[in-house]
Structure 1
Amino acid sequence: MTIENLIKHANTHTGKLAINVHKFGGSSLANSECIERVIDIICRHCQINDIVVVSANGGVTDQLFNLCQLAKDEVDYTEALNNLHFQLKGLIAELLNEQNSSYLTKQLSDDFLQLSDWLANDYKQQRNNILAFGEVWSARLLSAVLNERICPSHALDSRDFIQIASEQEPQVNYDYSRDQFNQLKQTHQLTIATGYIARDVNGQSCTLGRNGSDYSATIMAALTGAANVTLWTDVDGIYSADPRVVPAARKLHRLPNGVARELGRLGNPVLHVNTLKPLEEHATHLHVASSFDSEISGTEIGKFGFLAKQELSVTYSNDVLLVSSEHLSALSKPEAFTRFSPICFDEKQALMVIKQEQQKAVSQWFASKVGDVTFKPVAIIAVVGHKVAERGDVKARFKRALENTRTLDVVSSTSEHSIISVLPDSCSPELTNVVHHEMTKDAKHIGVVVAGLGNIGERFLSLLPNQIKRQSVLENVHLVGLLSSKKALINTDGISPKQALLQFEKQAKDYDETLLLTWLKNHPYDELIVVDITPSETFSLLYREFFQQGIHVIGANKWAASSSTEYYNGLTALAEQNGSVWLGNTTVGAGLPINFAINDLRRSGDEVKAISGIFSGTLSWLFEQYDGSVPFSELLTNALSQGLTEPDPREDLSGRDVQRKLLILARLAGFTLSLEDIECQSLVPEQLVSLSTQDFLKQSHLLDELFENQLLQAKSEGKCLRYIAKFEINEDGYQANVGLAFLDTDDAFARLNPCDNIFKIESQWYQDNPLIIRGPGAGRDVTAGGIHSDLVAICEQLSTKQHQVKIKGLNE
């Protein structure tokens, strides 16, 4: 939905839309290309009554700091001032038409006259006003571009409505601030507010510290009761460790509020300690996403269930001090928290760990109250997760990870959501990687959605609990979705496999493709696997959407794998492009490892020359049983009653199923062909093709003479009757066909158990003595087992898969 549509919605409906806050950091607004991306994000993600909070354009605040420093040092700043002015004028000219550019450039020139005067005469008193220019310019420019191209908008200087106690104590006066904002906000216009800046109770300009725009965004959410805050930045989420240091770091798709606050307290480079404070009394969810790749799902912070609470992350800091004093006991634990918010505080050992920037305040307090204090540079490394301080297993693993590392005798925290070890030396990248590996090596969570809840789907689910216990690679597999043709049960905290069908019966709701794809696109798992046990061609058409989202597919469904050459090649290319794994062992041969064998031969360097066999369990049973003693139609009715055929037996007799299976195997062997390239002999007489299923069964006796004649001819040659599929390379390229064949009675294809499939592979390595795979080609147990084989295989592949971390600058 575009902004224009939302304007119409807002003007013609009385219902109030939920407010969302979108904050864009400096790197997201660094140049005209970045701002164009921001405009696109606003068009696709914003509503007209949303709030957009902006930082200064990338690098501008640093330049303003530098100008203040040059003025302080009495160094000529003329060139630096002119360069900044030139840079900003160029940005305006790139983004606006001539008329609007002229207007905004005039405002900018007036600001630079004021800036020049302050730097020359009053830079100390006006320092915060000087620094505030960056956000004012950024908001003004973005609002002008939106007004020119997209929708009505207005820029607000947050100093005109956000009031805090002081710069040192930035608590917000929410009642006053909310009242002021409501007076300034314009209806049916998108609000562009400055981040980073506010005023204190005396009316003086204040800054909210580095990365203060994030704090501004959550303040805005608290003022407006916003449903969501999105921090659009240069990273695509919060990771289990700093991905610049730990390449194996995993994105944490969902973080409980308490865990996020603890990460911020310990110095996470994306989450800051003040950012989450305004949301503590609200149900607002915080999102971290990348403006450089807005289609990638980021991290959501809020109230979640079991799975999110199992996530662990590792963080460290080399910028901390160990405070020691024999008088430290005079500082009670509550008082320590109130005054200094220490990282660690151990009353028994008279030790406290603080951030380096707190040294002056701590030193002054001790000097005025109790006496001497010493400071020693140290480092910390911490494991953070929901109530990890209460989890003995996490503590044990953490200590084991540090057993070869010199540590101080402090492994504690002031929070239930972290366990901290204090190190006498800097925390090295090597140690961080070791600890991260030990703490998170089994933590990749894989969601599984099962589509198709018939006999095989039920059996797959019944096997799942024991499979998870037996196979360590499935330890973090979670059943999260069940789909029938019309109803769906999706539970992000997992569905018990043992109770799955009962839960589905009670809780499943109607769904359509749009709802399904919306959920799958925003799934909160490291990986997602869709297990397609449907016979539906319509559902197979969703594979393209799945692969575009990097979702993996286990397909017992033959439609996609036997689709047109162009479509099939497009699917395989799309899967490869997006890192999706597509397995379909059970499309041919139920649980028999025929797909695996062909893939393994090709991967090993062999070349398949021919594939042949009996691929239909139904036709295998019919021709193993058919000896002429009973009419073929009677045998067919018997097979139908046992559930050995499709509900309409013509699906089996037509040969189309066998034709599709041969196509799938030939493609796996590396050949490019379509269904039309395979000759198919149908066993359904023309006069029975167009009848209803009921009428066909009534007239199935018309099959008897046809099959009796074929059987008599085969016997006259001392042979037996079988339905064979065959693909082979010849001088003209290849030949492929499925149909009736007369075989010698000692042929490998002639001596099968009823319902068996048999596959013969001839290759460069298997010429004189072909590779033969034989066994049951149908049945709920073997088919469900084959799907589980694919699940294990896919999870083994995913266990070593590394996602590219999206960080501006790191990936360029």
Structure 2
Amino acid sequence: MQQQVQNIEYSASLNPLKQVEVTTNVHKFGGSSLANAQCINRVVEIIKNNAKLNDFIVVSANGKTTDQLFSLLECVDDKDQFTVQLEQLKNDQAALINELLDSSQAAQLLQQLDKDITFIDVEFSNAFTSNRNDVLAFGELWSARLLATVLSHNVCQANAIDARNVFILDSTNNFQLNEQLSKQNINAEKLANHLNIFTGFIASDELGNSHTLGRNGSDYSATIAAHLLNAKNVTLWTDVNGVYSADPRIVNTARKLFRLENSVAKELGRLGNPILHANTLKPLTTHNIHLNVASSFEPQDSGTEIGAFGDIAKSEISVTHNNELIKIDSDEFDARILEQINTRFQPIYQCQNKTCFVISQQFADLALHYLQEQGIKFSIKNVSLIAVVGYQIANRGEIKARFKRALKHTDIAQFVGSSNGHSLLAFFEHESSVELINNVHSQVTKDSRNIGVVIAGLGNIGKRFLELLPAQLARVHALENVHLVGLATSKKALINTDGIEVNQALELFQKDGLAYNNQLLLEWLSHHPYDELVLVDITPSEQFSNLYQAFFEQGIHVISANKCAGSSSTATYNKLLSTQQSTGSQWLVNTTVGAGLPVNYAIKDLLNSGDTINEVAGIFSGTLSWLFSNFDGSLAFSELLQNALEQGFTEPDPRDDLSGLDVQRKLLILARLAGFELELEDIECQNLVPSSLINLSVDEFLTQANELDEYFADKLLEAKQQNGCLRYVARFSKTETGYRAKVGLEILANAHAFANLTPCDNIFLLTTNWYQDNPLIIQGPGAGRDVTAGGLHSDLVNLCRELAVKTKEVEIKGIN
């Protein structure tokens, strides 16, 4: 039974949680993506998962087929060599067909192949005196026919289209595309409710003569087709998973550029980027086509998007180089000659006085022949180029200064800015060395990483975190490339890949936030366009903490004030740690205990330095600290509790504080950080709420809270009789046989370190091998919106400092 292609639509929406209209998309697969049966089967899966009926699939020739055809054309004087190579070509194509299809499915393709091979043989007999492009066109024809047949038998109906019946070039107008006629043709050739498989690379003129669009012409075919079809999205599936900040073959610290602004991508293509090509990007100049470069070998990876983006994408910087350039000088260029040069040879640079221009060596022979025909006297010189490319980069003084510093002590021939302002060009009269290219890249891109921040939870602390964010971004250098890109509550979310204005974040959230579910959020996070993504969890939600595993699997960093994950079961906790470490994610939990107090930092630092934690003790609840610091008998405990509730010192349901669960979780988190493995239930916990009050509603509990008074009055009297005070204490200690852990009410001497606290303060006592006789004590506010929000900002700054020095060597399958 035939399967239906999934109706999945890629969205480049500013808010990816919005629904998008269904449009036609174009997918192009390069020769390496179709090189063998395994590759073609992988392409079929990509099409099933990413395309829909009525989409267009543009294909290159399989593997090295085009090279084989060019080689045949060069055998015009060697019959024996031609025969051997033609037989090899036929066998390769037949083997590919037979590996992918059974005999009945393959029969028609094999018959067509025999006819085509006979045609090539006849062409050789005629010394290839007719149109050589008719031979070169077979690579794409065979590829399109094969993929269409495989899809028709395994997925859905597919239709192979010969682009020569569609793309018509006007021979009277420098072989420009006849757009009107080509649009009529493509609409006539495509079949509804089919996947239309289209040949790249080839076209024809109005007389029916075959033409090719040049090497990498299939990419150009894809964007032309998208323009004619009014498509919105084009994906170039290739053997590398995006465009990088430099050629990753020689700069192993190059960054993948997740998003490129249209004009910057066009400039990269103009200057000779190995992935982007100038012709490919021409339709992007005047039409709103979104381009995506992705890897068919790693289709789950986010590629590079090219389109209309905001300031974050426009801040990207890249370095490109070209060692295959020719500089031509002459004093005899006139307006007519220069117009022809610009039209026909795509100069990379033309000097201001119009006496010289620089072109790619691929146009050198044609250009020299043209100038000789015109009787122009000229001189030529081999030159190389290193260029720094970015949106209006010529106006970014600091980048320009860095580039010049990197070129210091080099014999640079010329340093100029491009006329469009998107590149700075340095020319040399020799090849640019790998060392110099790496040095330039290191100097100019050292601060260009983009870090996206998503905040989950917009209660008191979340709002305070947002209030502090603008000033933090302005004054802390480590946050220079941090961008607020997401806000979420339990009800709705606002995600904006171009960034959310921090000074208006809450207003924008109220206005533009949309209902979402966790799956939608995860889908967006899995394709985020940033070097790093940080999720700041300021929720109390156990359900949200269950997403941490998925976050870590995607390499997302988590800063958490949420205690649920850190106090989850040992199996869950260990799995989170293992996943986080294996993917390089960071998990910072310093505000889960002690708000902004550095107790977590202290434990980690001691362990990393070789010390051993033997005891952790203290008062970990700001609420219980306030209650027992103020409980002197002048008010009944229930009255004091009501006062604390009215002043916001307790949870809306005070039993959440009195149960001891919060303190129990905090002790578990610290014990685990200290290197011990235990469960929450391994910590003995005294619940201060009597069983008679546990299952009541909040209002009923508050009405009957006076039932607490007798117990606490008796405990206070007992404490005073011992010249002491009441405190709710957490204790964890190492023993000869394991450990002992408990949280509960204790009577402490009035001189005890835990007795003399400012109400709401937390105190932590650490006994270690180094701090044995005189334990380390950390004391201060353990709750409050300012200190907790400040602690989260501290985590963010420290994380960004770590990420600033993080390096990741490029892993690529290759570049065509």
Q: Taking structure 2 as the reference length, what is the TM-score of the superposition?
A: 0.94
User: Given the superposition, is the C-alpha separation of residues 329 and 605 from structure 1 closer, same or farther in structure 2, using an over 3 Å criterion?
Assistant: farther
AA in 2 matched with 1:505: Q
Matched, 1:596 2:611: no
Identity rate, percent: 55
Q: Return the match for 2:731 from 726, 742, 749.
A: 726
User: What is the alpha-carbon distance in structure 2 between the residues aligned to residue 241 and residue 381 of structure 1?
Assistant: 11
Structure 1 distance, partners of 2:187, 2:433, is 50
d(CA) in 2 for partners of 1:696, 1:223: 70
Amino acid at match of 1:319: E
Letter paired with 2:442? H
Which 10-residue stretch deviates more, 695-704 or 158-167? Answer: 158-167
Q: How does 1:282-431 map to 2 (within 5 A)?
A: 282-328=287-333, 334=339, 336-348=341-353, 350-369=355-374, 371-431=376-436
Q: Aligned partners of 1:71 and 1:83: how far apart in 2?
A: 17
Distance 2:390 2:344 in 1: 25
Answer with 104-113 or 284-293: which moved more. 104-113
Q: Quick one: which amino acid aligns to residue 54 of structure 2?
A: N
User: Cα distance 1:169–1:509, how it changes in 2: closer, same or farther (>3 A)?
Assistant: same
3-state SS in 2 of match to 1:461: helix
Kept in 2, the 8 Å contact 1:7–1:188? The answer is no
Q: How far does residue 18 in structure 1 lie from its aligned partner after superposition?
A: 1.0
Contact 2:552 2:585 in 1 (8 A): yes
- C-alpha contact 1:333 1:347 (8 A) present in aligned 2: no
- For 1:12, the equivalent position in structure 2 comes to none
**2:14 equivalent in structure 1:** none
Query: Residues 482 and 157 of structure 1: is their aligned pair in 2 closer, same or farther, counting only changes over 3 Å?
Result: same
For 1:660-671, what aligned pairs fall within 5 Å after superposition? Answer: 660-671=665-676
Matches within 5 A, 1:484-633: 484-633=489-638
Instruction: Report the secondary structure of 1:115's partner residue.
Output: helix
Question: What is the distance in 2 between the residues matched to 1:167 and 1:31?
Answer: 40
User: Aligned pair count?
Assistant: 805
Q: TM-score, normalised by structure 1?
A: 0.95
**Structure 2 letter corresponding to 1:157:** D
Question: Any unmatched runs of 5+ in structure 1?
Answer: 10-14
Aligned to 1:260: 265
User: Which of 174, 181, 187 does residue 182 from structure 1 map onto?
Assistant: 187
Say yes or no: does 1:639 pair with 2:673: no
CA contact (8 A) 1:530 1:552 kept: yes
Q: Is the 8 A contact 1:327 1:370 kept in 2?
A: no
* Structure 2 CA distance for partners of 1:350 and 1:331, relative to 1, 3 Å: farther
Is this contact kept in 2: 1:592–1:773, CA < 8 A?
A: yes
Pair 1:439-2:433 in alignment: no
Once the two structures are TM-superposed, the CA of residue 479 in structure 1 deviates from its matched residue by 1.3
Conservation of the 8 A alpha-carbon contact between 1:363 and 1:373 = no
Q: What is the Cα deviation at residue 57 of structure 1?
A: 1.1
Shift of 1:86: 2.5
Aligned residue identity for 1:26: G
Distance 1:587 1:333, change over 3 A: farther
Of 483, 486, 508 in structure 2, the residue corresponding to residue 478 of structure 1 is: 483
1:69 shift after superposition: 1.8
Following the alignment from structure 1 to structure 2, what is the Cα–Cα distance between the partners of residues 121 and 476? Answer: 64
Deviates more, 1:213-222 or 1:454-463: 454-463
Superposition pairs of residues 66-465 of structure 1, within 5 angstroms: 66-74=71-79, 76-165=81-170, 169-328=174-333, 334=339, 336-348=341-353, 350-369=355-374, 371-465=376-470
2:12 aligns with: none
Supply the AA of the counterpart residue of 2:47: I
Q: Distance in 1 between matches of 2:692 and 2:240?
A: 66
- Equivalent position of 2:713 in the other structure: 708
User: How many angstroms does 1:618 deviate by?
Assistant: 0.8
- What SS does the aligned partner of 2:306 have? strand
Cα root mean square deviation, aligned: 2.4
User: Does structure 2 conserve the Cα–Cα contact (< 8 Å) formed by 1:236 and 1:805?
Assistant: no
Secondary structure in 1 matching 2:705: coil
Contact in 2 for aligned 1:167/1:208 (Cα 8 Å): no
On the 8 A contact 1:447/1:479 being kept in 2, the answer is yes
Secondary structure of 1:788's aligned partner: helix
**Match of residue 781 from structure 1:** 786
Using the TM superposition, give the Cα deviation of residue 388 of structure 1 relative to its aligned residue in structure 2, in angstroms.
Answer: 2.2
Please give the secondary structure, in 1, of the residue aligned with 2:726: strand
* CA distance 1:727–1:166, change in 2 (3 Å): farther
Letter in structure 1 aligned against 2:466: L
Deviation of residue 65 (structure 1)? 1.5
Closer, same or farther: CA 169–568 of 1 in aligned 2, 3 Å: farther
How big is the shift at 1:117?
2.9
Structure 1, 728-737 or 678-687: larger mean CA deviation: 728-737
CA drift of 1:248 comes to 1.8
2: CA distance between counterparts of 1:269 and 1:384?
14
| Offset from partner CA, 1:395-448 (integer Å, 9 cap, x none) | 333223222221113424243321211112211111111211222111111111
Q: CA contact under 8 A between 1:658 and 1:725: conserved in structure 2?
A: yes
User: Which secondary structure does the structure 1 equivalent of 2:754 belong to?
Assistant: helix
User: Shift of residue 349 of structure 1?
Assistant: 7.5
- Check conservation: 2:559, 2:588, Cα contact below 8 A: yes
Check conservation: 1:329, 1:350, Cα contact below 8 A: no
CA shift digits 1:459-481 (9 cap, x unpaired)? 21221122222221101111122
The change in CA–CA distance for 1:777 and 1:340 in structure 2 (over 3 A counts) is: same
Residues 167 and 207, structure 1, Cα contact 8 Å, conserved in 2: no
Displacement after TM superposition at 1:323 (Å): 1.4
| Change beyond 3 A, Cα 1:132–1:336 | closer
Q: Could you tell me how far 1:354 is from its partner in structure 2?
A: 1.5
Q: Which whole-Å deviations, capped at 9, do the CAs of 1:506-562 have from their partners, x for residues lacking one?
A: 333333323323332332222111111111222222222322322211111111211
